[in-house]
A = this chain, B = another copy of it.
Amino acid sequence: MNDTINLLMSHRSIRSYKPDPVTDEQLETIIAAGQMASSSSNVQAYSVIAVRDPKRKAILAELAGNQRYIVECPVFLVWCADLHRLEKAVQQHAPQEESYTDAVENFIVATADVTLAAQNAAIAAESMGMGIVYIGGVRNEIEEVSELLGLPDRVYPVYGMCVGYPNQEPGQRPRLPLKAVLHHESYDALTTEQTVAEYDEQMANYLSARTAGTKSTPWSALMAQKFTTASRMQLKDFLERKGFNKR
């Protein structure tokens, strides 16, 4: 195993940060590394808003469901899928033609593009001794978050990311067994089902050990709870109003 793989294998989400700042130069290194990720046909359909102002971080923390580490971290990055500058390119060069930025295809392209860049940036930050945690909570009140950040049409915040120096050393949560996610030649539904049962036991033991026996719900039961709870149901309308995912 080389150093980079060691780094990838030792990832933990960090939810407590030291006050040490992230400098402009460090931030630029992190984002530049993000930009070198692959991009679908070089569209580079993303933007990232770096928020350092304590007042703005406090508002974002509240909108994201009172996650205090958003206030605590020195830089909060809001990663946005961005078809705005691509729509501008259409207006500039082909204003009489129909634009397809509102297609489902380009919603996928933009959502994947921003995620490739964000994950490269996460790894760059971790390689510099920092920690990160993704914050899906920016989609809780996506309209308010978008207004606060001045996001134009054809831009939506996909997730936030706290960045800073770790003030904790959390344990590493086990992942699904490899054979649950890696299939050979075609999808193997039977193996994936059987391995979920293994993982349920492993995760129940892990939770129990971390909570002195008070929690031991199997993973699949936690997932059933999660996916039978309506969450962020305003997204469909909001995204269509913003010019995404319409056809």
- Say yes or no for A35: interface residue by CB 8 A criterion: yes
Q: Which of A11, A89, A158 neighbours the largest number of chain B CB atoms within 10 Å of its CB?
A: A89
Q: Which of A32, A187, A225, A245 neighbours the largest number of chain B CB atoms within 10 Å of its CB?
A: A187
Residue of B nearest to A83 (CB): B227
Count this chain's copies in the assembly: 2
Contact A232 B105, beta carbon cutoff 8 Å = yes
**Residues on B with beta carbons closer than 8 Å to the beta carbon of A97:** 224, 228
Interface string of A130-159 (1 = CB under 8 A from B): 001110100100000000111110010011
Contact B8 A181, beta carbon cutoff 8 Å = no
**Residues on B with beta carbons closer than 8 Å to the beta carbon of A150:** 186-187
Query: Which residues, 41 to 88 on A, are CB-close (under 8 Å) to B?
Result: 41-44, 46-53, 56, 80, 82-88
Interface residues of chain A, those whose CB is within 8 Å of chain B, are 1-5, 7-11, 13, 27-29, 31-33, 35-44, 46-53, 56, 80, 82-90, 92-94, 97-101, 103-106, 108-109, 111-112, 115-120, 122-124, 127-128, 132-134, 136, 139, 148-152, 155, 158-159, 173, 175-176, 178, 180-187, 189, 192-193, 196, 219-221, 223-233, 235-236, 239, 245, 247
Give 26 A-B contacts (CB < 8 Å), ordered by A residue: A1-B29, A3-B3, A9-B32, A27-B182, A28-B178, A31-B182, A36-B175, A37-B119, A38-B119, A44-B176, A48-B182, A49-B186, A51-B185, A88-B196, A93-B220, A94-B225, A100-B230, A104-B232, A104-B235, A104-B239, A105-B235, A108-B139, A112-B159, A119-B120, A152-B187, A245-B245
